[in-house]
């Protein structure tokens, strides 16, 4: 009889693959595909044509009908370089009631539970089908989920209810912020800094754009939030630049400046209007640059776009998560997930997974053993429910 691995063993195996977003996830995908195949489960992979070293994987068990519950997780993790780990980050170490390792919390712990549940469901007499969906590149802007979702259509029956297992302490999160970002390249005209009036400093012009972001944040913070926005912390849309590079010397006006501009939008904010506000500001600054030097310009490249998760009116996913967890609270988060992308594709979606988001991306990342066990019980109860 083919071995049915326990959730902890599955998590230990998944974490042994160092699937940092900049690296390949294919060894993990190969292993999961082989493991599911050993149980007679057909897994489908979607290879990224632009990144041959990346692939998503999805599978369906139970009746060959629409309406499945989809367990969605991502396979990539953030880097460990520069972090002071006390243990090997690619091994699961149990200590002090915790499982330590990169991805235990975000989110290979949930992935392991979802794989366990899919195999158990395969051997059960399901009346409602179950699906597994494992994406890539979530940590760099949720860019791997949309093509995976499109690839699923017509290959497996259309699912209806999606549980995205980001760490939420097993609470039903029904709303989260969305986001958009652009790689921004300001191209100036370099001259000796004593001739600054005849040159265009890419850094100075970039500063105008970043100053605009500060103004937008201050205006949003001063405004009265709407009832939906008021649930978030902070209760408004925020603009942010995390990194910036530019210039060659202190006495040369900078020819180039590179930075990423992005925002995190509360559900209900008009993201088209936010996009337009940024593009209009860029156009304004660029026009002023060109009046000094026609060669100057600003180039924008879309980096990612993550839609918000909107609370649904008696949504199927929320109802299911509450029934399985007993959680009746109202929960929203300020980070983004793939739930909004599933929602945009016509699924009912909720975020519900074990662990505390505060541990994500940290050195000595961990998930409490009790949280992992709570996730295991959630999956047991889900399989039982899908048989009814």
Cis peptide before 32 (omega within 30 of 0): no
Q: What's the average model confidence in pLDDT over 359-383?
A: 98
Q: What's the average model confidence in pLDDT over 282-287?
A: 98
Q: Residue 380 — φ and ψ, nearest 5°? A: -55, -50
Return the axis-axis angle of helices 26-38 and 108-123, rounded to nearest 10°.
20
CA–CA separation, 344 and 340 (whole Å): 6
Confidence of residue 268 (pLDDT cuts 50, 70, 90): confident
Asked if residue 55 lies in contact with residue 25, where contact means CB atoms within 8 angstroms, the answer is: yes
Q: Which SS3 state, helix, strand or coil, does residue 150 take?
A: helix
pLDDT in tens, 12-54: 999 999 999 999 999 999 999 999 999 999 999 999 999 999 9
How many alpha carbons lie under 13 Å from residue 242 in its C-beta half-sphere? 8
In terms of C-beta density within 10 A (0-12 exposed, 13-18 middle, 19 or more buried), how is residue 276 classed? exposed
pLDDT in tens, 299-331: 999 998 899 999 998 899 999 999 999 999 989
Task: Compute the chain's Rg from CA coordinates.
Answer: 23
Q: Is the pLDDT of residue 223 over 80?
A: yes
Q: What's the average model confidence in pLDDT over 105-114?
A: 98
Over pLDDT 70: what percentage of the chain? 100
**The model's pTM:** 0.91
Asked if residue 323 lies in contact with residue 357, where contact means CB atoms within 8 angstroms, the answer is: no
Minimal CA–CA distance to 252: which of 204, 186, 184? 204
Q: Is the pLDDT of residue 372 over 90?
A: yes
Q: Is the pLDDT of residue 1 over 70?
A: no
pLDDT in tens, 39-48: 999 999 999 9
Over pLDDT 90: what percentage of the chain? 96
Average pLDDT, the chain: 96
Cβ–Cβ contacts within 10 Å for residue 141, how many? 18
Q: What's the average model confidence in pLDDT over 342-354?
A: 98
CA–CA separation, 65 and 45 (whole Å): 20
Q: Is the pLDDT of residue 56 over 60?
A: yes
Return the axis-axis angle of helices 202-222 and 271-292, rounded to nearest 10°.
150
Cβ–Cβ contacts within 10 Å for residue 6, how many? 12
């Amino acid at each position: 009889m083919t071995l049915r691995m326990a959730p902890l063993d599955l998590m230990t195996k998944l974490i042994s693959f160092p699937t940092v977003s900049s690296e390949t996830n294919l060894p993990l995908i190969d292993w999961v595909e082989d493991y599911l195949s050993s149980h007679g489960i057909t897994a489908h992979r979607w290879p990224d044509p632009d990144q041959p070293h990346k692939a998503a994987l999805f599978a369906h068990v139970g009746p060959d009908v629409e309406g499945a519950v989809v367990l969605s997780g991502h396979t990539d993790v953030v880097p460990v370089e520069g972090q002071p780990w006390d243990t090997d980050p690619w091994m699961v170490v149990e200590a002090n009631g915790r499982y330590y390792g990169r991805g235990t919390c975000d989110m290979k712990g949930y992935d392991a539970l979802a794989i366990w549940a899919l195999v158990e469901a395969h051997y059960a007499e399901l009346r409602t089908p179950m699906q597994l969906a494992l994406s890539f590149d979530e940590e760099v802007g949720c860019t791997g989920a949309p093509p995976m979702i499109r690839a699923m259509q017509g290959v497996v029956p259309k699912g209806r209810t999606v549980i995205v297992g980001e760490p939420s302490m097993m609470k039903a999160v029904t709303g989260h912020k969305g986001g958009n970002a652009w790689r921004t390249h300001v191209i100036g005209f370099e001259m000796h800094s004593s001739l600054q009036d005849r040159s265009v400093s890419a850094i100075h012009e970039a500063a105008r754009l970043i100053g605009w972001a500060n103004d937008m944040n201050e205006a949003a913070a001063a405004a009265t939030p709407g009832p939906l926005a008021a649930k978030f912390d902070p209760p408004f849309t925020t603009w942010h630049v995390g990194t910036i590079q530019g210039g060659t010397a202190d006495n040369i006006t900078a020819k180039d400046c590179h930075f990423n501009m992005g925002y995190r939008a509360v559900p209900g904010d008009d993201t088209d209007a936010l996009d337009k506000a940024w593009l209009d500001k860029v156009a304004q600054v660029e026009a002023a640059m060109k009046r000094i030097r026609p060669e100057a310009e600003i180039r924008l490249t879309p980096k990612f776009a993550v839609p918000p998760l909107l609370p649904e009116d008696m949504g199927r996913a929320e109802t299911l998560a509450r029934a399985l967890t007993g959680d009746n609270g109202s929960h929203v988060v300020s980070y983004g997930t793939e739930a909004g992308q599933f929602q945009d594709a016509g699924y009912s979606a909720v975020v519900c997974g074990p662990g505390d988001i505060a541990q994500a991306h940290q050195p000595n990342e961990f998930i409490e053993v009790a949280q992992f066990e709570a996730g295991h019980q959630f999956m047991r109860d889900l399989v039982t429910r899908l048989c009814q």
